[in-house]
Amino acid sequence: MRYEITHRTSYTYASDVSVSHHVARLAPRSLAFQQCFAHEMAVEPRAALITQRDDYYGNRATFFTVPSPHRSLVVTARSQVELLSRQIPSAASTPAWETVRDLFRRHDAAPQSNKQEFIFPSPMIPRLPELGVYAKESFFSKRPLLEAVLDLNSRMYFDFKFDPKATTVATPLEQVIKHRRGVCQDFAHFQIGCFRALGLPARYVSGYLETMPPAGKPRLVGADASHAWVQIFIPDTGWIDVDPTNNLLPSIRHVIVAWGRDFSDVSPIRGVILGGGKHELRVSVDVKPLTGTWENAGNSAGTNDQAGTQNQVVRQQQQSQDGQQ
């Protein structure tokens, strides 16, 4: 399945911003089951400096600076992605969760070292006793890992309420636990905290959901914004994606952009500004099946070489596959 994704972020400031520096993680990854064929990002007003590199986790990071006074900033990213079905093992065939926990407790677990870092607390997912208590109801003795994961996913779906007004990006996990309300970011943090409380490696995934589902399929929660879910590592299988917001294992309707320890590692856009005062943020996301040919966004949005425009387009072609590492 091929998708065209448009992600538009706009900031409106109460007073002039004299200079701003930003980093964006908006380019979908290329994986064994996901290929990003084209990606471009337009910045208004014109960015004087733009550089790209892969961060510690292999996510594509774009750094840009807007040095002239401005009262608004608009960043528009467009991508073309193809998704293939993923191979999911039988839940009953996966190893007991204690076996996986013990693997990462060993001091000689060097081959697993790049997974081992995901068993520890992170800036937005502290170690809280409530997480282990909640998780234990699903992770009883010798239960196959994926069976326990699916049970936890289902329990969260019914125990927590999706409420966009209940939290912000800064709401601590303790408040999410107390009120059991929030959005996909909160649920991903909670579930990762549960896994890590048991000594199991889990990481945070940012991405997108198909906006319009196929005929006969339900519309998924969070489809008109960036989405977040979880990956847990299963030996001999790899990282398995889990979506606690929608109580399912992602397949051809979830587009992966970035992964890390928690949201702080994969924020779509973050930065530092001088001035501006209060600001208003608006984000819109559209994910739709791709029909016809891929149109170059630079033709409609313009580039720096075109007269009368302040748009700047950064293009990136991604043909390599970095796999599910």
Within 13 Å, how many C-alpha atoms sit on residue 24's CB side?
A: 24
Look at residue 262 and tell me whether its pLDDT is greater than 70: yes
Sort 93 into a burial class: Cβ within 10 Å, 0-12 / 13-18 / 19+.
Answer: exposed
| Strand partners for 82 | 2, 35
Name residues whose C-beta falls within 8 Å of residue 314's C-beta, 6 or more positions apart in sequence.
40, 41, 42, 43, 50, 52, 62, 64
Distance CA 265, CA 163 (A): 24
- Radius of gyration of the chain measured on its C-alpha atoms: 20
Residue 316 near residue 39 (C-beta atoms within 8 A): yes
Chain-centre distance for alpha carbon 91? 25
Cis peptide before 45 (omega within 30 of 0): yes
Decide the pairing of beta strands 161-162 and 181-182: parallel
Is residue 309's pLDDT more than 60?
no
CA angle 215, 218, 219 (to 5 degrees): 105
pLDDT of 33: 95
**Mean pLDDT computed over 298-318:** 41
What pLDDT digit, counting tens, does each position of 9-63 carry? 999 999 999 999 999 999 999 999 999 999 999 999 999 889 999 999 999 999 9
Q: Which domains, and CATH codes, for the chain?
A: 2-83+266-316 (2.60.40.2250), 91-250 (3.10.620.30)
Higher-scoring residue by pLDDT: 34, 87: 34
* Residue 36: closest CA among 279, 233, 292, 290: 290
Average pLDDT on 233-253 reads: 95
Residue 317 has pLDDT above 50, yes or no: no
Tally of residues, the chain: 325
Which two tokens mark 200? 């199991």
Distant-in-sequence, close-in-space partners of 255: CB < 8 Å, separation ≥ 6? 3, 5, 28, 34, 81, 83, 207, 208, 209, 287
CA distance 294 to 4: 8
CB-CB contact of 46 with 93 (8 Å)? no
Q: How far apart are the first and last CA of the chain?
A: 23
What is the rounded average pLDDT for all residues in the chain? 88
Q: Which residue has the higher pLDDT, 296 or 113?
A: 113
> Residue 294 pLDDT more than 60?
no
Per residue in 96-106, pLDDT (tens digit) is: 999 999 999 87
pLDDT surpasses 80 at 308: no
DSSP 119: G
The DSSP call for residue 235 is T
Residue with tokens 């960036």: 226
